[in-house]
Amino acid sequence: MATKNLSAYDLNSVPDGKDMKFGIVVSEWNYEITGALARGAVETLKKHGVKDDDILVNHVPGSFELTLGGQFFAEYTDVDSIILLGCVIQGETRHFDFICQGVAKGATDLNIKYNLPVIFGILTTDNQQQALDRAGGKLGNKGDEAAVTAIKMVSLQKNFESEIQIE
């Protein structure tokens, strides 16, 4: 099966991010990976016009805490979108399954609870190499993909909101 390069996208398909504000939550577990995801996300947001001051970054201990970190952004800031960045690598126990299920459900719930794009930028891999390949390696950077997704979703939401105001 061919795997998509996570950093490959049509530049023209991405709206201008100059009036958008983003919160990024980064997990400290596997920081070699998640730090690279964060650098990719920040660079991609800036590439599409988002101002430095409109990119807020906070860290949480592990991927399981990403949901609450995201909720803090939703409750206490005026960001347009929240990007959750983490990396869960399969180990010998079932911890992997519980963390992945927890954060996937948590991220989904935040989207609905706050009517806000909360982006799932979390690698869930069998091993470290698969993660490195997707954190700036041969398969691109999931942080780039998450940033592009966030900009597109904010733009979509703003379009809906402006249409509602016209009627």
Binding site for ligand DLZ (CB under 6 A): 27, 29-30, 61-65, 86-89, 91, 95, 99
Q: Angle, to 10 degrees, between the axis of helix 66-76 and the axis of helix 95-114?
A: 20
Q: Least distance (Å) from ligand DLZ to the CB of residue 156?
A: 29
In the complex with ligand DLZ, the residue whose CB is nearer, 28 or 109, is 28
Q: Least distance (Å) from ligand DLZ to the CB of residue 85?
A: 10
Catalytically annotated residue among 4, 51, 95, 113: 95
Amino acid occupying residue 34: T
In the complex with ligand DLZ, the residue whose CB is nearer, 55 or 99, is 99
In the complex with ligand DLZ, the residue whose CB is nearer, 61 or 108, is 61
Amino acid occupying residue 54: D
Q: Least distance (Å) from ligand DLZ to the CB of residue 162?
A: 38
In the complex with ligand DLZ, the residue whose CB is nearer, 20 or 66, is 66
Residue closest to ligand DLZ, measured at CB: 62
Q: Least distance (Å) from ligand DLZ to the CB of residue 4?
A: 23
Phi, psi (degrees; rounded to nearest 5) at 90: -55, 130
Half-sphere exposure (CA, 13 Å, Cβ side) for 118?
25
For the question of residue 95 being annotated catalytic, the response is: yes
Residues assigned a catalytic role: 95
